[in-house]
Structure 1
Amino acid sequence: MRINQNITALNAYRNLTVTNNALTKSMEKLSSGLRINRAADDAAGLAISEKMRGQIRGLNQAVRNAQDAISLIQTAEGALNETHSILQRMRELAVQSASDTNTDDDRVQIQKEIDQLAEELSRISNTTEFNTKNLLAGGLTDQKFQIGANSDQNIALNINAMDAKSLGVAADVRGVSNFGVASTSSGIYIKITDTTITSVKLVTNASVSNVIVSASTSTMIVNFTTSVTLNQVLAAINSYTGTGVIAGLEPGAAGTDTVTSETVSVSSTGVSSYAAVTGANGTVTKAAFVAAGIDVSTQAAANAAITTIDEAIKKVSAERSKLGAIQNRLDHTISNLSVASENLTAAESRIRDVDMAQEMMNYTKNQILSQAGTAMLAQANQLPSTILQLLR
């Protein structure tokens, strides 16, 4: 018998250490709910699990992307619903004006409503946005919606311009454009139906501050005593006591800009309607503008307008149908992505998550072994004391 080395105690201690390590790991797994808490637990399983987690998170984000895309489409389609309503009203008015039961004065009033409706079409086009992106100005081309967890898993969307000019229900009118500024800049537009006016002249440092029409030159003259701004010129023109003159700031014009003297001839199409000018990501750099709505001032013009408005309605219908088809596609996409995410999550769970029932069995076993090992170590530590019996 030996007392320097207690082999029995060393054996009991080693087994108790192994049991305690296993018990610690069981407690870690039970508390975290994970079978793999570190790479050492299962190196290959960890690598596979992380790849699956990347796919799962990508799929879940793709679902959110598709939902955002549906929101964008619904915003555009909702605006086009009102565009349809406006076009239907314009068609109704054109049909009304095409009947010679109306007088010329009646058609003037009908034309006024047509003009306002055309302006509203372009206003809707200019202002319909989603996340600051303009949807109906024609700049939303080749937009990619990422609907998958990996690169290049996307669908494209284009939305055509839906302003009055693009739909063919805006017209050009007699008057002047870019008045008060350089010809390349936005300034004041002046719509003129007064046939006695053939030119417009802006004069500064003159003795008066009003608008007159010179009978000898058929010129509308805007006089100012000092240097003025576009807003001041605009107010002076709109205070003109004659008939048939309407002025306003063109899109992009700054009313506070100082203007200079100029003389501009009045053209039969001097004020033109135009579609919006767009930049990257649908940004509108110059808003769509309506000089006047489609002409319904005569029976022949109104009759032709009916056909033109029908074509505009077809364009809007085609755009809405396209948007509706893509929305339905995205609904199916979301369902597919959700199923894929669910199945992949289940697969990842089988690799990464702990089976709580099985691990509780291991924990109970290790707990009993730890208690037994502790008791046996205590007994083994008592064995050398029996040697004292030999010394009596």
Structure 2
Amino acid sequence: MSLVVTTNVAGMNSQRALSIADRQLTTSLERLSSGSRINRAADDASNLAISEGLRAQIGGFRVALRNTQDGISVLQTAEGALTETQGILHRMRDLSVQAANAGSLDDDARGNLQSEIGQLRNELDRIAGTTSFNGRKLLDGGYRTVFHVGADAGHTIAVDLGRGTSAAALGVDGIDVTGPGRYGPGAVTLSTAAAPGTAAVLTIAAAGGSAGFSGGTGGVSAYTDLDGTISVGGRSFDLASVRYDTAADTDGNGTRDAADLLAQLNRAAIVALGLTSPPFSSPTPGTLAFAVAEPLPGHTGTAGAPLSASAADLARSTPTFTAAGGASRALTAIDAAIERISTVRGDLGAVQNRLEHNIAKLGVALDNTAASDSRIRDTDMATEMTAFTRTQILSQAGTAMLAQAHAAPQGVLKLLV
């Protein structure tokens, strides 16, 4: 080996080795202090891309968990209100059963029962109108939404709380347990498009233009709409809702005729008005009479003539038909409402169970995804500490050897003496 003083090759080699050890020592210190194996893209470019994708999914899982828990809170709020609604309906039913016992109650007693039912009905409306979550009403019939319960697009669960739970929506707003089962004078009204004071005409006319309550043959296939709305005991029936051309052959004579239309009118009116007997009759061909206790002026009619009656005439009459008993009708309506609320609560419970299962699934997915990201991103402290110790020793050794390399050229001075 030649002795030179201008180029210290041994020192250069020692310095290069020391620089490598220092860089490795700095990297180890950064990983140990931050806890992350990848602190910049240069540390591990390909695994950084994988890790970022996993972290995006982890964030989605965490938000989905919150969304699901919020959804459960919404359903629990709605279900709690429905529990009270159902309790109110049960109380209304108890009162209706009590009112049905006509043999032991007078009108005052039934009136007291009806008063409590009225208050309960108001509470149904209040609960339906005020139950809300974060400003959104739940039981007014308009709550239809989806909960996003996953980390990716399309991971949703739909929720529909139905048509609402107000007294009207449940069909219990008109129950009256005080009803004697018979409508008296003034309970029947007739409204038409006719000017005030003029006759209200109820007529059935053949499609060909010839008036009459006969027909259905000779090419006649349809009748014009009836004009008028009958109101009895707070319930209404629009005659225009029934047309001859939709009537079935009820009497089996092979022809859809006036008798078929009359049967259809009565079936529809009985349901709409809550009656127990048909309200319409045909005293003579060409006329349509509303069944009353005594004939109204001008109601006899002749063949082919329309029926004319003023609203005042009809209001003064006393119908001969009777309504279904108030308490009995109330029980039927309340039972239907209880069944509907039970169905809604069952649906809410099923959705809540789905959300609970989703929380369990998200928890497992979150744990496994976080573990996978940790294996890529986090520092293995034991391994890194071993590397740090090794690099620290190399750094110290490199420093010592660099000092020796700097001292070696001094031996040349002995040759110069």
Note whether the superposition's TM-score is higher than 0.5.
yes
How far apart in 2 are the matches of 1:135 and 1:379? 84
How far apart in 1 are the matches of 2:169 and 2:123? 14
**Structure 1 match to 2:161:** 159
**Structure 1 match to 2:37:** 35
**Structure 1 match to 2:171:** 168
**Structure 2 match to 1:112:** 115
How far apart in 2 are the matches of 1:386 and 1:163? 106
Q: CA RMSD in A?
A: 2.2
Partner residue of 1:370 out of 395, 404, 410 = 395
Pairing of 1:66-215 with structure 2 (within 5 A) = 66-100=68-102, 101-141=104-144, 143-160=145-162, 161-171=164-174
State the shift of 1:171 in Å: 2.0
How far apart in 1 are the matches of 2:340 and 2:108? 32
**Higher normalized strand content (fraction of residues):** 1
State the shift of 1:24 in Å: 0.2
TM-score by length of 2: 0.64
State the shift of 1:300 in Å: 1.1
How far apart in 2 are the matches of 1:124 and 1:102? 31
Report if aligned partners of 2:38, 2:44 keep a CA contact under 8 Å in 1.
yes
How far apart in 2 are the matches of 1:270 and 1:108? 18
**Structure 1 match to 2:282:** none
Report if aligned partners of 2:132, 2:138 keep a CA contact under 8 Å in 1.
yes
> Cα–Cα, structure 1 residues 157 and 316, in superposed 2: closer, same or farther, change >3 Å?
same
Q: Report SS of the residue matched to 2:141.
A: coil
Report if aligned partners of 2:71, 2:147 keep a CA contact under 8 Å in 1.
yes
**Structure 1 match to 2:414:** 389
> Cα–Cα, structure 1 residues 74 and 165, in superposed 2: closer, same or farther, change >3 Å?
same
Q: Which has the larger radius of gyration?
A: 2
Partner residue of 1:329 out of 350, 354, 367 = 354
Report if aligned partners of 2:175, 2:329 keep a CA contact under 8 Å in 1.
no
1:167 counterpart letter in structure 2: L
TM-score by length of 1: 0.68
State the shift of 1:384 in Å: 1.1
State the shift of 1:316 in Å: 0.3
Q: Are 2:363 and 1:338 equivalent residues in the alignment?
A: yes
1:108 counterpart letter in structure 2: G
**Structure 2 match to 1:15:** 17
1:340 counterpart letter in structure 2: A
Report if aligned partners of 2:68, 2:148 keep a CA contact under 8 Å in 1.
yes
How far apart in 2 are the matches of 1:144 and 1:37? 39
Structure 1 unmatched ranges of 5 or more: 174-194, 199-266, 273-293
**Structure 1 match to 2:277:** none
Residue deviations 1:222-278 (CA, integer Å, cap 9, x gap): xxxxxxxxxxxxxxxxxxxxxxxxxxxxxxxxxxxxxxxxxxxxx977899xxxxxx
2:357 counterpart letter in structure 1: H
Q: Are 2:378 and 1:353 equivalent residues in the alignment?
A: yes
**Structure 1 match to 2:204:** none
Calculate percent identity across the aligned residue pairs.
51
State the shift of 1:307 in Å: 1.1
> Cα–Cα, structure 1 residues 270 and 93, in superposed 2: closer, same or farther, change >3 Å?
closer
Residue deviations 1:140-159 (CA, integer Å, cap 9, x gap): 12x11011100111110000
> Cα–Cα, structure 1 residues 269 and 301, in superposed 2: closer, same or farther, change >3 Å?
closer
> Cα–Cα, structure 1 residues 314 and 271, in superposed 2: closer, same or farther, change >3 Å?
closer
**Structure 1 match to 2:307:** none
Q: Report SS of the residue matched to 2:69.
A: helix
State the shift of 1:2 in Å: 1.1
- Number of aligned pairs? 277
1:69 counterpart letter in structure 2: G
Structure 2 unmatched ranges of 5 or more: 177-185, 190-230, 237-273, 275-322
Q: Report SS of the residue matched to 1:171.
A: coil
How far apart in 2 are the matches of 1:12 and 1:270? 106
2:414 counterpart letter in structure 1: Q
1:144 counterpart letter in structure 2: V
State the shift of 1:304 in Å: 1.5
